[in-house]
């Protein structure tokens, strides 16, 4: 997520109009590093028409399992946090909140103790 050109995350779609959700950010990162995602080997093949999952959250989770090698429960939790828990946020707020959530998980800290570049924005994150 740190390598995204814009610190924004969309909801309800893996990749659309050059923007993405958390799972889309992981797919883009891996493609840029030269990791092939089974049928997808270039960023150009990862277009908005083929990987837009408006109708079924299951399709998005299935993509994460099949192409990113992620466990179904982890993919579901990430998708749920991105789309449902942070569904009422702006794309910029969603990016900040997801960064704090990811750091909290990685560093196994309480929310208010999460080491973060975003700590100075803590009040805005809780909005």
pLDDT digits (tens, 9 = 90+) for 71-116: 989 998 998 999 999 989 999 999 999 999 998 888 775 554 444 4
Q: Output 86 or 67, whichever has higher pLDDT.
A: 86
pLDDT of residue 17 exceeding 90, the answer is: no
Residue 7, domain member (yes or no)? no
HEC secondary structure over 78-121:
HHHHHHHHCCCCCHHHHHHHHHHHHHHHHHCCCHHHCCCCCHHH
Residue 70, domain member (yes or no)? yes
Residue 85, domain member (yes or no)? yes
Query: CA-CA distance, 39 to 22, in Å (whole number)?
Result: 20
Residue 55, domain member (yes or no)? yes
User: By residue range, what is the domain housing residue 39?
Assistant: 15-89
Residue 105, domain member (yes or no)? no
Whole-model pTM?
0.72
Nearest of 83, 124, 74, 65 to residue 100 by alpha carbon:
124
**In the block, residue with structure tokens 């390598």:** 3
How many domains does the chain fold into?
1
Residue 53, domain member (yes or no)? yes
Residue 102, domain member (yes or no)? no
- Helix H or strand E segment including 59: helix 57-68
């Amino acid at each position: 997520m740190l390598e995204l050109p814009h610190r924004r995350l969309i909801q309800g779609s893996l990749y659309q109009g050059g923007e993405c959700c958390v799972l889309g950010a992981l797919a883009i990162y891996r493609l840029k590093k030269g990791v092939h995602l089974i049928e997808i080997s270039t960023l150009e093949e990862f277009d908005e028409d083929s990987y837009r999952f408006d109708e079924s959250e299951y399709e998005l989770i299935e993509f994460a399992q099949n192409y990113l090698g992620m466990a179904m429960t982890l993919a579901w939790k990430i998708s749920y946090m991105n789309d449902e828990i942070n569904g009422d946020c702006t794309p910029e707020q969603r990016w900040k909140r997801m960064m704090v959530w990811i750091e909290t998980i990685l560093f196994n800290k309480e929310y208010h103790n999460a080491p973060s570049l975003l700590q100075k924005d803590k009040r805005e994150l809780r909005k």
